[in-house]
Structure 1
Amino acid sequence: MSKDEINGKEKGDDVANSKMASKVDISERQRQTLIEVVDDIAGEEVKKVTLVLLNADEETTDEEISEKLDMRLNQVRKSLYKLYDLQLATFRRIRDKSTGWFVYFWTLHPERIDTFVEKKQLEVLEKLQTRLIYEESNMFFTCDNPDCPRVTFQNAMDNNFECETCKG
């Protein structure tokens, strides 16, 4: 069984008639968070693609997005794959029976933004906890020169408590 059949499409269905509804109701806070997070993590181009998908009432093809944004198709696809990698968008593909090419229908999942943000916050928290353990378990020495880095006790001892940078 093909992916298209699993998604409820029979082989040879007309691509033009294969769009499914995709609009999901989200709060204004989730909408703003989605836009800000995508802009911060993936950049302006991905943000523009996200806005097109966010405002679409149904699945959207990469070609349609390219036309709406007057952006090169390969840039749109690159942006869509970034959203896919962030697990904020999914796609399904249908073979166009007239050309034999696959047409990709993209859907944004803005409802996943809260989970995405929580996951990123946990990653940052883990890094901070690891850093805190390192800071608490080491003794650090600094030079009188504020431009010189601080060093651990072991490094300071290895250098006879002289600064490696300024030799002070």
Structure 2
Amino acid sequence: MQKKTVKKTTEKKAAVKTTEKYDHLYDFVQKISGDNGLKVFQIIGDGVTDDVIEKKANIKVAEVRSILNHLHSFGVVDYSREKNLTTGWYTYTWKINEERAVQNYIQSLKKEKKMLAERASGLDNTVTFYSKKTGRSFSFEEAFENQFKCPETGNTLKEIDKNQERKSISKRIQEIDKTLAEHMPRVIVE
């Protein structure tokens, strides 16, 4: 009976090490696939089937497969398949593709940084309004056409404070730079 306890403790430690091994990708996975995607990602580790993920995550297998395919499209996970010769069915084993995931994460951060820099440089040339309730932004022309009311809620639109927006953009760019500095050493130069 003691042997089972030791085995379970060892398995738990291995699972924790595996999840910690990839914790630098949590923000990226959360951003692209939400809470359930992150839950699935944390279970995958170094290799697991969709049925095991379903049981551990308590998510329907159809949703698990959808999440896995979504993560695969972003290069976060890869799979291998094995055919059961008796049944003819395939079993897919999913693994995290850390190198490709980090490269795609870095690429998405660089794209976001470029977009933010363009937005910051355009602040001086435009007047922008936003809806507090929806968070949606409107150009001056759009706001004027809607009589400075949100078309969805009917609430009055507020002008964006350019200084506050610049600070917000600058802060996010600094966060991106910090994250890039942390992840750049992980990228393997070919």
Residue 82 of structure 1 is matched in structure 2 by: 70
TM-score normalised by L of structure 1: 0.58
| Higher normalized helix content (fraction of residues) | 2
* Deviations, residues 88-145 of structure 1 (Å, cap 9, x unaligned): 1011222211111121111112344432221011211332344356556x4x468xxx
Residue 72 of structure 1 is matched in structure 2 by: 60
Q: How large is the Cα RMSD of the aligned pairs? A: 3.3
TM-score normalised by L of structure 2: 0.52
Aligned pair count reads 123
Residue 94 of structure 2 is matched in structure 1 by: 106
Q: Secondary structure at the match of 2:93?
A: strand
Structure 2 CA distance for partners of 1:90 and 1:27, relative to 1, 3 Å: closer
Between 1 and 2, higher relative CO (CA 8 Å, sep ≥ 6) is seen in 1
Unaligned runs of 5+ in 1: 1-22, 156-162
Q: Secondary structure at the match of 1:41?
A: helix
- Inter-partner Cα distance in structure 1 for 2:32 and 2:66: 14
Residue 94 of structure 1 is matched in structure 2 by: 82
Q: Secondary structure at the match of 2:86?
A: coil
1:14-163 equivalences under 5 Å are 31-54=22-45, 56=46, 59-132=47-120, 134-135=122-123, 138=125, 140=126, 151=140
- Inter-partner Cα distance in structure 1 for 2:93 and 2:84: 12
Equivalent position amino acid for 2:32 in 1: I
Q: Secondary structure at the match of 1:43?
A: helix
Residue 169 of structure 2 is matched in structure 1 by: none
Q: Is the 8 A contact 2:84 2:91 kept in 1?
A: yes
Query: Share of identical aligned residues, percent?
Result: 23
Q: Secondary structure at the match of 1:100?
A: coil
- Inter-partner Cα distance in structure 2 for 1:27 and 1:48: 10
Q: Is the 8 A contact 1:33 1:113 kept in 2?
A: no
Equivalent position amino acid for 2:51 in 1: E
- Inter-partner Cα distance in structure 2 for 1:141 and 1:37: 32
Q: CA deviation at 1:50?
A: 0.8
